[in-house]
Amino acid sequence: MHIQLANLIDRYPTLTECHDDLQRAYDLLADAFRNDKKLLLCGNGGSAADSEHWAGELLKGFADPRPIPAHMRKDLGEEIARGLQWAFPVIPLTGFSAFSTAFINDVSPEHVFAQLVLALGRTDDVLAVLSTSGNSRNVCIAAQLARTRGLRVLALTGRSGGKLKDFADVCIRVPAHQTPHVQEFHLPIYHCLSLMLEEAFAVNWGERSKGATLNA
């Protein structure tokens, strides 16, 4: 078992039942990033905040620094290079406030995330959807569209999985029903996945920018 995953389950023993899905979630994300694909994230309310939070852990160094590669440092100069870090390609769909408010007002609130998946998603990208109930209408529609566009879907939900479990390639159903309790599990889960990814891709961070395959 990966050390970070073992640490997570040691701190949250009730997540033992999620072990296989946690490993599958990591494999899904690692495969996407190895192949230069991106991660899209969405959710509502606290899950929107979690989407932004998770993106933040991947768009900069999390547990470890991520210096940009030597060839970029040479081109940019050390002063600029020192202020940059290698990052995973991640887009929180919750962050498009001008688009979202216009689309919700002018077109359809239920389709707001799906519209962004239509615009930004490409085959073999990953859409991670967070919903404590698994039934959030706008998130479910986004997941449905993602499947038709050839994206893979990772869902983080409560115990039932709701409707999302039927649209997800991997569904992590945490052992809780109430919204705050579900969210209390989601945060350490995406932290664990972020740590696993950071460790796996830590070798030769910057080679990604030259198209090389990283070890993961």
pLDDT of residue 208 exceeding 60:
no
Average pLDDT rounded to a whole number, residues 24-39: 98
| pTM summary value | 0.92
What would the pLDDT profile of 163-179 be if each residue is shown by its tens digit?
A: 999 999 999 999 999 99
pLDDT for res 73: 87
CB 173 within 8 A of CB 18: yes
Average pLDDT rounded to a whole number, residues 28-35: 97
pLDDT confidence tier of residue 1, bands split at 50, 70 and 90? confident
Average pLDDT, the chain: 93
What would the pLDDT profile of 130-170 be if each residue is shown by its tens digit?
A: 999 999 999 999 999 999 999 999 999 999 999 999 999 99
Average pLDDT rounded to a whole number, residues 5-31: 98
What would the pLDDT profile of 51-99 be if each residue is shown by its tens digit?
A: 999 999 999 999 988 888 888 888 999 999 999 999 999 999 999 999 9
pLDDT for res 59: 96
Residue 122 or 211, more confident: 122
Closest Cα to residue 194, out of 2, 55, 66? 55
Rounded Cα gap, residues 212 and 216, in angstroms: 12
SS (H, E, C) 150-196: CCEEEEEECCCCHHHHHCCCEEEECCCCCHHHHHHHHHHHHHHHHHH
**DSSP helix/strand/coil, 69:** coil
pLDDT of residue 210 exceeding 70:
no
pLDDT for res 205: 58
pLDDT of residue 19 exceeding 80:
yes
pLDDT of residue 214 exceeding 50:
no
